[in-house]
Chain A
């Protein structure tokens, strides 16, 4: 039983990263119509910014949690302004190729300077240790990651589905031309939206640094699974990507317990099944 709970926890942790990343992808896809293959590289940059902040400036984890998403978000907005904006109106394939190219360049640069092995990033003092819950031992940091990710996901959902700013965003996703004709600076909104999605990826990177170490290819490994999650959940649905992210993490964890051989492929098997039955994904709208 202990092992089952342990795998469930691992599943929830992975689910947290899936949810944060697929949420950012969904927001970006909705507004920019770009399948952001650079997402994994930006997630990795978040972790590296946390590492630099600590090693070069002595700024700890709590600072990183705030600064890394902002720094990487600004980097993302520069990418959008200089490169991605030229893709407006073109086929999805162009965005996919461009962002894939950006990912390769960013990862290549980091690999050149830091190699492929991981750099350590310590768990902050306040979150060390663990709690005995009776039925299992819960490392505090892991519990924190799950709870904090959930809070960030729900806050993002609230921002998009329940606020004025979110209404602009949803409307501009549907009909950017008309929203602009109402007097809203849509190009600026697109840039900020990309920054938001990228910031979420960087935040996930910081959260992951103490668990998975800081590696140039940490995002490349993760992003393939995240895209499967997005395909299963359906592009463009905010709540759908949150729920699918957590659920698939848990399913993966359960598979590790019941049938470990399939744990690396279960997400892709589910993706195939969902595509066969409902090609737009579980919560997706038809294009």
Chain B
């Protein structure tokens, strides 16, 4: 299950798996992304940092193809996504865990978990998922939205691990959660990285991000304005405080 995941670090030889160039996107009439440029290498955890409203969530949504209008280029495994619909993008092995978690109230936990179709081989089995998130196993029959916030977040992550998608986009997975659960999500991300998943993370909680990320991009007004690796982090702390206003 580790090194042979299609499209994973091994398959892509650690090269660029996602390449975003001049990505512009609109929410209805409002122009949100003004030419995003960044890339993600296979097997990396990359975090988009930035203030509220900078365009981080919009970036994930437009990679996934769920915004009405987008231009520029998004290449995944050297394949252009900009004209594809979101169902076809998902079938190439990209999965989104949305900020609002998107747990379905009319489905029980098992149905929520099994909802996303398997798009390729190499996904986690249910047993492996229950090993990562033991709480879910206890609550399979519960209505999806009856779970606690932490459990809902785990469910939202768990359900995209089954599908065989090797590129995961997690939008603020720690938002509003207790420290102990944040820690559990941190362990999960580290474990997923070890198993060859590539992860693009949006996170407000910079301290959390710094425990899991390999590289960072800073987003402001719908553009990437800076980027550095985890090793360069100490040297960039002052600048970063300035960007994030913390």
Contacts and interface: CB of A to CB of B under 8 A. Distances in A.
B78 interface: no
Interface of B: 64-66, 85-91, 95-96, 98, 102, 104-107, 111, 114-117, 119, 160, 163
B87 A186 contact: yes
Nearest to B169: A181
A170 B64 contact: no
Contact of A170 (B89, B90, B107): B107
Contacts of B66: 177-178, 180-181
A179 B91 contact: no
Closest 9 CB pairs of A and B: A183-B90, A182-B116, A170-B106, A181-B86, A167-B111, A178-B102, A171-B104, A183-B91, A180-B87
A72 to B, nearest CB: 28
Interface of A: 164, 167-168, 170-171, 173-175, 177-186
A178 to B, nearest CB: 5
A243 B65 CA distance: 41
Given A170-B107, A174-B105, A181 B90 contact: yes
Contacts of A173: 106
A134 to B, nearest CB: 45
Nearest to B117: A183
Given A174-B104, A181-B65, A181-B89, 12 more contacts: A167-B107, A167-B114, A167-B115, A171-B106, A175-B102, A178-B66, A179-B115, A180-B85, A180-B90, A181-B90, A183-B91, A183-B117
A168 B86 CA distance: 16
Nearest to A178: B102
A175 B96 CA distance: 14
Contacts, number: 59
A182 B107 contact: no
A180 B66 CA distance: 9
B225 to A, nearest CB: 28
A180 B95 CA distance: 11
A164 B117 CA distance: 10
A215 B51 CA distance: 65
Given A167-B111, A167-B114, A167-B115, A184 B87 contact: yes
A118 B65 CA distance: 53
A206 to B, nearest CB: 31
Nearest to B108: A167
A178 B115 CA distance: 11
A170 B66 CA distance: 20
A183 B102 contact: no
A39 B96 CA distance: 38
25 contacts: A167-B114, A168-B115, A171-B106, A171-B111, A174-B104, A175-B102, A175-B104, A177-B86, A178-B66, A179-B115, A180-B66, A180-B85, A180-B90, A181-B64, A181-B66, A181-B86, A181-B90, A182-B95, A182-B115, A182-B116, A182-B160, A183-B88, A183-B119, A184-B117, A186-B87
Given A179-B115, A180-B66, A182-B115, A171 B86 contact: no
A179 B102 CA distance: 9
Contact of A181 (B96, B105, B111): B96
Nearest to B119: A183
A183 B116 CA distance: 7
A168 B85 CA distance: 18
